[in-house]
């Protein structure tokens, strides 16, 4: 999807739909199958698998405590897939343009810039993670639960250090607030179609599908 506005709006609608009901999650999953590159849009497969494993663990705990763990698992997995698609399709520099279009050159630009930086941090953490695994392998330290905590501390420290360096760089370049940006967006027909379908997905999330089938019988 090329138009960042439709992409962000679609992601919000689909996430909301998946969160609201299991039928919304199913519809969001179908949307993901139809309008994205599916598994090819998952950049960090191991991270996604780890997140799914975490969801499985939480849903198991919910089942044990008498709740609907399966519903939680399906909804959270759908939200995760939408998130991975949004992350994979994003292009560096488009968030300031999107923010400026949405909220103007001061607040919008700043929010867009923060969002862009957050994406950079996410990318940086992914690369740091790969390097860290390689460093542990070089030191012949097996990758496992024992090293997860120190590795996590190091990743967090690195992310904070990088954020500090970015702040200094902005200050050195004289940045105070706001910025000028002339956003231009390309909107092909398939983007409009995908966005429209995302609206329908949200509507489906509010439809009580099970009751409909009961009445139909």
Partner 1 sequence: MKIVLDSVTHARPSWSLAAKGTFTPGIHLVSGDVGSGKSTLALLMAGLLTPDRGTVIREGIDKAMLSFQFPEFHVTGLSVADECRSWNLEPEPVLASAGIMASPERPAHSLSRGELKRLHLACLLSREYDLLLLDEPFSSLDCPGKEWAARQIGRRTAGITVVFTHEQSTFPHIDHIWEIREGNLADCGGMPGALRAWERAPAIVKRLVAEEKIPADLTQESIVEAACRTQE
Residues of this chain that bind partner 1 (CB under 8 A): 131-132, 134-136, 138-139, 141, 147, 150-151, 153-154, 157-158, 161
Nearer to partner 1, 64 or 149 (CB): 149
DSSP 8-state symbol, 182: -
Nearer to partner 1, 16 or 154 (CB): 154
* In the complex, least distance from residue 167 CB atom to partner 1, rounded to whole angstroms: 16
* In the complex, least distance from residue 126 CB atom to partner 1, rounded to whole angstroms: 15
Nearer to partner 1, 51 or 151 (CB): 151
Residue 198's nearest CA partner among 1, 4, 2, 9 is 9
* In the complex, least distance from residue 130 CB atom to partner 1, rounded to whole angstroms: 10
User: What is the rounded CA–CA span in Å between residue 5 and residue 195?
Assistant: 10
User: What is the rounded CA–CA span in Å between residue 17 and residue 75?
Assistant: 9
Q: What angle do CA 144, 87, 147 make, to 5 degrees?
A: 10
- In order of 15, 152, 153, 189, the CA distances from 157 in angstroms are 30, 8, 6, 44
22, 71 contact by CB (below 8 A):
yes
Contacts of 207 (CB under 8 A, 6+ apart): 23
The string of DSSP codes covering 10-62 is HHHHHHHHHHH-HHHHHHHHHHHHHHS-GGGG-S-HHHHHHHHHHHHHHHHHH
* In the complex, least distance from residue 147 CB atom to partner 1, rounded to whole angstroms: 8
* In the complex, least distance from residue 44 CB atom to partner 1, rounded to whole angstroms: 19
Nearer to partner 1, 104 or 150 (CB): 150
* In the complex, least distance from residue 66 CB atom to partner 1, rounded to whole angstroms: 41
152, 171 contact by CB (below 8 A):
no
Nearer to partner 1, 68 or 165 (CB): 165
Nearer to partner 1, 37 or 161 (CB): 161
Contacts of 81 (CB under 8 A, 6+ apart): 28, 29, 32
């Amino acid at each position: 999807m090329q138009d960042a506005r439709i992409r962000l709006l679609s992601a919000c609608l689909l996430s909301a739909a998946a969160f609201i009901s299991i039928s919304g999650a199913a519809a969001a999953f179908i949307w993901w199958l139809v309008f994205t590159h599916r598994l090819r849009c998952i950049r960090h497969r191991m991270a996604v698998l780890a997140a799914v494993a975490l969801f499985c663990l939480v849903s198991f705990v919910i089942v044990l405590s008498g709740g609907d763990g399966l519903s939680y698992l399906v909804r959270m997995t759908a939200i995760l897939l939408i998130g991975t698609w949004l992350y994979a399709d994003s292009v560096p520099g488009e968030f300031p343009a999107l923010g400026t279009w949405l909220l103007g050159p001061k607040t919008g630009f700043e929010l867009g810039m923060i969002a862009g930086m957050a994406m950079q941090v996410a990318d940086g953490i992914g690369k740091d993670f790969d390097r860290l695994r390689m460093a542990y392998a070089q030191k012949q330290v097996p990758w496992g639960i024992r090293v997860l905590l120190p590795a996590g501390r190091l990743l967090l420290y690195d992310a904070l250090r990088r954020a500090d360096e970015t702040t200094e760089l902005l200050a050195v370049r004289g940045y105070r607030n706001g910025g000028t940006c002339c956003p231009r967006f390309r909107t092909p027909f398939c983007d409009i179609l995908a966005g429209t379908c995302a609206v329908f997905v949200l509507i489906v999330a509010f439809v009580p599908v099970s009751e409909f089938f009961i009445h139909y019988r």
